Amino acid sequence: MRIVITGGAGFIGKKLARALLARGTLMDRNGTVQELREITLFDVVAAEGLPHDPRLETVAGDITDAAAVKALIGPGTGGVFHLAAIVSANAEEDFDLGYRVNLDGTRHVLEACRALGEPIKLVFASSVAVYGGDMPDVLDDGTILTPQTSYGAQKAIGELLLNDYSRKGFVDGRALRLPTIVVRPGRPNRAASTFASSIIREPLAGEEAVCPVERDAAMYILSPRRVIQALIHAFELPAEELGMTRMLTLPGITASIGQMVDALERIAGPEVAARIRWQPDPRIQRIVAGWPPRFDARRARALGFEPDADVGEIIQAHIEDELGGRIG
Amino acid sequence: MRIVITGGAGFIGKKLARALLARGTLMDRNGTVQELREITLFDVVAAEGLPHDPRLETVAGDITDAAAVKALIGPGTGGVFHLAAIVSANAEEDFDLGYRVNLDGTRHVLEACRALGEPIKLVFASSVAVYGGDMPDVLDDGTILTPQTSYGAQKAIGELLLNDYSRKGFVDGRALRLPTIVVRPGRPNRAASTFASSIIREPLAGEEAVCPVERDAAMYILSPRRVIQALIHAFELPAEELGMTRMLTLPGITASIGQMVDALERIAGPEVAARIRWQPDPRIQRIVAGWPPRFDARRARALGFEPDADVGEIIQAHIEDELGGRIG
């Protein structure tokens, strides 16, 4: 089977590629386990830092170019992970770019899949940013979507499209609303949530980090390990278990910033936790306060998706996966 | 003020134009009553059957042509009623046409408004088809959107876009989810709901009508008179009364087909009601059963939108407005 990963140069795309290479197989839509013969990572730049593997291909291209996407997802493609997106703060600053990538790009992926003439599996990375504004204390699968950012609106639209294409039999889609991913490896990005990774990642690497929110700010989070597991699990779920509703919110854990810092101190010591500089930023505080902190993800749990046990497990996983077990 | 009505050759567009001409004014976004100097009806064909009035202009054009829409909604436009759409059954049959008109067309309207550089008022005709599938017995403003048709998905996407463009200050949008409009004048169209008008309209005109559903099938309906009132009321509502949520479901009444036919018999006599041929069609029955029959439209009522009193009032209004008070 040939698999395409859009946004393949991002950290989730690369981690997913590594996990798929290690696994070697994926279940196709008939429930047959298929050997993975080719994994194509598509992004604006060629993905770097990946192992040399004859099954791996990197393609640099533009998701806003319909012809490029159609050439990418050509005959022989057995499944797509559509991760490419302009992140929240960037989509908010550059309205046109956000819509071109996050809406038009998603339509190009859907159309390229449809052109294949059989409903291949398509896993779409959505976001809890589809929620916002006046929300109940605990959200669930029946909570109305009220995006308060262009990014959230674009993800909600992507879900509607994926659902409609799936209903028509053009694709076998699965949209996962991702919690905030903590701890992201690498450098800060343009997402408003980027600090939630920085306050763990940077101190562990011996660097200072700025925390722009108070200790009691709460976030709904999930580790990179669990996200990769979820993406693969979503791919392999039989279509009949999803039925007509192809979108679901992943189970995460709700943690306050204080809990995150306390866990960091417990695991890495007070001198590491002391590398956090508390410097409240009203703009970031306002954005974070607008995110849903608690979600009862009953549907996803019943379908076999699993959250992390606690913040400590998330930090330990980061130390193992990114730091070779060592704290700087 | 110059007003543009897309879908202007449709019956709602033409009724709206007549109502606006009779009214002569609309309140602009500063709360100032403005004289209506020009009303432009845009559609694939030029609107016919309208009174000669120097304020009225008809333009034939294609809503899927971004440049045509930008030329239509040019400098000097003070407001837009965006009614143009491919109806449900047609959008279901012709997937590409539905998305071109109902999604791309709506984006062209939004972009043309944005290009004006000031947030003009834009009233968008959405639909209760944004709901479907597993629904509560009584829907309300907090019910999650679960469209089960491409038309419903396209309307839900249009709402998300309108809301996001409004949040960004590009337009001052208002999306109204219309109940099934009964009694539509004219001939049956390609909407699955068309029979609900036919079973009243045709018998009153001395013709036979086929009813493809049973007496106990229930529908959420609104008269053409009330829709026109609602569109104008939505235009004039101050933006601050809508806040961040620019979509709302209009109050309608819930009536069974049996109640509709009984009211027809009461008003027009048994020989008129006897012109209905009962010929159940499982396909139509299934579609109608998938529509939400009951909606608690608290938000719209609080904002001053009004439903019809009962089915009798709806039939009487049709006899007055379309038949000159006479029953054929």
Question: What tens digit of pLDDT does each residue of B228-286 get?
Answer: 999 999 999 999 999 999 999 999 999 999 999 999 999 999 999 999 999 999 989 98
Question: What tens digit of pLDDT does each residue of A62-87 get?
Answer: 999 999 999 999 999 999 999 999 99
Q: A22 in contact with B at a CB cutoff of 8 Å?
A: no
Determine the average pLDDT of the residues in A27-31. 88
Within a domain: B189: no
CATH number at residue A96: 3.40.50.720
User: Distance (Å, rounded) from C-alpha B267 to C-alpha B73?
Assistant: 44
Determine the average pLDDT of the residues in A245-269. 97
- Token look-up 């001395």 returns B206
Q: Between A133, A143, A160, which is nearest B157 by CB?
A: A160
Determine the average pLDDT of the residues in A134-157. 95
Q: A168 in contact with B at a CB cutoff of 8 Å?
A: yes
Q: Do A148 and B245 touch (CB under 8 A)?
A: no
Q: Do B160 and A153 touch (CB under 8 A)?
A: yes
A window 244-283, beta carbon within 8 A of B: 244-245
Determine the average pLDDT of the residues in A299-320. 97
- From the DSSP assignment, how many helices (H) and strands (E) are in chain B? 14, 16
Determine the average pLDDT of the residues in B148-174. 97
At A167, list the tokens: 């209903």
In the predicted structure, residue A117 carries a pLDDT above the cut 80: yes
With CA atoms as reference, the chain A residue closest to B145 would be A144
Report the relative pairing of strands B121-127 and A38-43 from DSSP bridges. unpaired
Within a domain: B133: yes
Q: What are residue A124's phi and psi, to 5 degrees?
A: -115, 125
Listed in sequence order, the DSSP H helices in A99-252 are 105-115, 150-167, 194-204, 224-236, 239-242
> Which residues is A222 bridged to in the sheet?
A181
User: Distance (Å, rounded) from C-alpha B21 to C-alpha B55?
Assistant: 8
Task: Write down how long chain B is.
Answer: 328
Nearest CA to B180 out of B216, B214, B219 is that of B219
At B250, list the tokens: 């209009």
Is B72 in contact with B37 (CB distance < 8 Å)? no
User: Distance (Å, rounded) from C-alpha A99 to C-alpha A146?
Assistant: 18
Within a domain: A173: yes
Task: Write down how long chain A is.
Answer: 328
- Token look-up 């590594």 returns A18
User: Distance (Å, rounded) from C-alpha A121 to C-alpha A3?
Assistant: 10
Determine the average pLDDT of the residues in A278-288. 92
Within a domain: A102: yes
Question: What tens digit of pLDDT does each residue of A222-252 get?
Answer: 999 999 999 999 999 999 999 999 999 999 9
At B245, list the tokens: 């949520």
Strand order, beta sheet including A253-256: A180-181, A218-222, A253-256
Q: Do A144 and B145 touch (CB under 8 A)?
A: yes
Residue range(s) defining the domain that contains residue A130 = 2-178+223-249
Chain A residues in contact with B95 (beta carbon < 8 A): 168
Percent of chain B exceeding pLDDT 90 equals: 91
Nearest CA to B21 out of B59, B56, B57 is that of B56
Q: Annotated catalytic, B151?
A: yes
* Predicted local confidence at residue A263, as pLDDT: 98
CA of residue A173 relative to chain centroid, distance: 16
At A274, list the tokens: 């002391």
User: Distance (Å, rounded) from C-alpha B210 to C-alpha A30?
Assistant: 44
Q: Between A95, A161, A244, which is nearest B168 by CB?
A: A95
Q: Do A150 and B168 touch (CB under 8 A)?
A: yes
Question: What tens digit of pLDDT does each residue of B102-120 get?
Answer: 999 999 999 999 999 999 9
A window 59-98, beta carbon within 8 A of B: 95
Q: B161 in contact with A at a CB cutoff of 8 Å?
A: yes
Mean pLDDT for chain A overall: 96
Determine the average pLDDT of the residues in B183-203. 93
* Predicted local confidence at residue A88, as pLDDT: 86
Q: Do B153 and A163 touch (CB under 8 A)?
A: yes
Q: What are residue A174's phi and psi, to 5 degrees?
A: -145, 120
Question: What tens digit of pLDDT does each residue of A173-231 get?
Answer: 999 999 999 999 999 988 889 999 999 999 999 999 999 999 999 999 999 999 999 99
Within a domain: A45: yes
Q: Which of A104-118, A153-167, B21-35 has the lowest mean pLDDT?
A: B21-35
* Predicted local confidence at residue A86, as pLDDT: 95
Neighbours of B31 (CB within 10 A): 8
Within a domain: B234: yes
How far does the CA of residue B143 sit from the closest CA of chain A (Å)?
6
At A56, list the tokens: 């791996």
- From the DSSP assignment, how many helices (H) and strands (E) are in chain A? 14, 16
B window 113-142, beta carbon within 8 A of A: 133, 142
Q: Which of B99, B151, B165, B220 is catalytic?
A: B151
What Rg, from alpha-carbon coordinates, does chain A have? 19
Within a domain: A79: yes
Q: Between B133, B143, B244, which is nearest A144 by CB?
A: B143
Determine the average pLDDT of the residues in B60-74. 98
Neighbours of A89 (CB within 10 A): 18
Mean pLDDT for chain B overall: 96
Nearest CA to A36 out of A4, A73, A13, A2 is that of A2
Q: Do B148 and A133 touch (CB under 8 A)?
A: no
With CA atoms as reference, the chain A residue closest to B131 would be A144
**Residue A328 pLDDT level (bands cut at 50, 70, 90):** low
Question: What tens digit of pLDDT does each residue of A37-68 get?
Answer: 999 999 999 999 999 999 999 999 999 999 99
> Which residues is A60 bridged to in the sheet?
A43
Q: What are residue B209's phi and psi, to 5 degrees?
A: -135, 145
Instruction: Report ipTM (2 d.p.).
Output: 0.96
* Predicted local confidence at residue B328, as pLDDT: 66
Q: Do B95 and A160 touch (CB under 8 A)?
A: no
In the predicted structure, residue B71 carries a pLDDT above the cut 90: yes
Question: What tens digit of pLDDT does each residue of A93-114 get?
Answer: 999 999 999 999 999 999 999 9
At A82, list the tokens: 């559509």
Q: Which of B108, B157, B159 should we substitute to test contact with A (largest number of A Cβ atoms within 10 Å)?
A: B157
- What's the domain count of chain B? 1
* Predicted local confidence at residue B190, as pLDDT: 80
Within a domain: A153: yes
Q: Do B143 and A147 touch (CB under 8 A)?
A: no
